[in-house]
Amino acid sequence: QSHGGFGFGPGSLGSGGKIPLGLRRKGLRIVVTGGAGFVGSHLVDRLMARGDSVIVVDNFFTGRKENVMHHFGNPNFEMIRHDVVEPLLLEVDQIYHLACPASPLHKTNVVGTLNMLGLAKRVGARFLLTSTSEVYGDPLQHPQVETYWGNVNPIGASHFLSLASYTTDTVAMTGVRSCYDEGKRTAETLTMDYHREAAVEVRIARIFNTYGPRMCIDDGRVVSNFVAQALRKEPLTIYGDGKQTRSFQYVSDLVEGLIRLMEGEHVGPFNLGNPGEFTMFELAQVVQETIDPNARIEFRPNTEDDPHKRKPDIRRAKELLGWKPKVSLRKGLPLMVSDFRQRIFGDHKEGGG
Ligand code: NAD
Ligand code: UDP
Ligand code: UDP
Q: ∠ CA(68), CA(322), CA(336), 5° rounding? A: 35
The protein residue with its alpha carbon nearest to ligand 1, atom 17, reads: 83
pLDDT band at 104 (very low <50, low <70, confident <90, very high): low
What ipTM score was computed for the predicted complex, to two decimals? 0.97
What's the mean pLDDT in 199-220? 96
Q: pLDDT tier at 37 (50, 70, 90 boundaries)?
A: very high
Interatomic CA distance for residues 21 and 214, integer angstroms: 35
Q: Which of 96, 136, 180, 250 is catalytic?
A: 180
Q: Take atom 5 of ligand 2 and give the residue whose Cα is closest.
A: 119
Q: What is the pLDDT of residues 113-141, one digit of tens each?
A: 999 999 999 999 999 999 999 999 888 99
Ligand number, closest to the Cα atom of 273? 1
Give yes or no for residue 118 CB within 6 A of ligand 2.
yes
Q: Tell me how far the alpha carbon of residue 40 lies from the centroid of ligand 1, in angstroms.
A: 7
| 261/205 Cα distance (integer angstroms) | 8
Q: What is the pTM of this model?
A: 0.90
The distance of Cα 183 from the centroid of its chain, to the nearest Å, equals 15
Whether the CB of 100 sits within 6 Å of ligand 1: yes
Give exposure, 217-247, as e/b (b: 16+ Cβ within 10 Å): eeeebbbbbbbbbbbeeeebbbbeebebbbb
**What is the three-class DSSP state of 4?**
helix
180-196 pLDDT, tens digit each:
788 899 999 999 999 99
What is the structure's pLDDT at 236?
Answer: 98
| Active site annotation includes 180 | yes
